[in-house]
Amino acid sequence: RAGDLAVIGSTFFHRSVVHGFSEAKGIVLCFLPKAITGKDPSGEDLEFLMPFLAQDEAFRHLVPAGSGIPSKILDLIKLIHAELPAKSVRSRMNASTYLKMILVLLGNYYAGYHGNLRQFHNKEKNIQRLRPVLDFIDEHLAERIAVSDVASMVYMSKSRFIRFFKNVPGQPSVTYI
């Protein structure tokens, strides 16, 4: 709905779908985790990224406009945009601070979520296992792709692959293809 915020990390495959004839608009904020954690992603700064790292099938990706969070985050995104291109130390510091403020808002909103780093590492491991399949699909989109063929690429039976694939990107392999 208008004003809602979608929170989607890089380990969760996603796509947008518009239903009906309404026009969808969105603002996307992409950042590298190193912008927050620096070179060592193991300290307290990793806590800033928890809403993105611990996403699983049960994660509530939508933050409703009524919570007030999306409008606060939009204001911070506008402040980041005003600092770009961040060529000076001050503008980089400001943009980084605004980004951390966004992450604090999200961290507080998702504080009750019981995701953890183990889930994140398992998901990353599963994505890496599927990497040959995902690359193959990207390279052969114009061709007919059989599920049994891509299942054999990762040494799985077709039925095992179908279950495994659905749990990793969050959608059936046929839909993804």
Q: What is the mean pLDDT of residues 100-109?
A: 92
pLDDT in tens, 27-69: 888 887 777 766 655 556 767 777 777 676 677 888 999 999 9
Share of the chain above pLDDT 70, in %: 79
Supply φ then ψ for residue 9, to 5 degrees: -85, 170
Residue type, position 24, single letter? A
Q: What is the pLDDT of residue 125?
A: 82
pLDDT in tens, 122-136: 777 888 898 899 889
**Global pTM exceeds 0.85:** no
Mean pLDDT over the full length of the chain: 82
Report the Cα–Cα distance between both ends of the chain, in Å, rounded: 27
pLDDT over 70 (residue 79): yes
The token duo for 176 is: 């993804």
Q: What is the pLDDT of residue 39?
A: 60
Q: Is the dihedral of CA 99, 105, 108, 113 positive or negative?
A: negative
pLDDT surpassing 70 at residue 114: no
More confident of the two residues 21 and 159? 159
Are 4 and 64 contacting, i.e. CB atoms less than 8 angstroms apart? yes
CA gap 11, 128 in Å, rounded:
10
Residue % of the chain over a pLDDT of 90: 36
Quote the CA–CA distance of 57 and 45 in Å, as a whole number. Answer: 25
- Mean pLDDT to the nearest integer, 85-114: 89
pLDDT value of residue 171: 74
- Examine the pLDDT at 117 and tell me if it is beyond 60: no
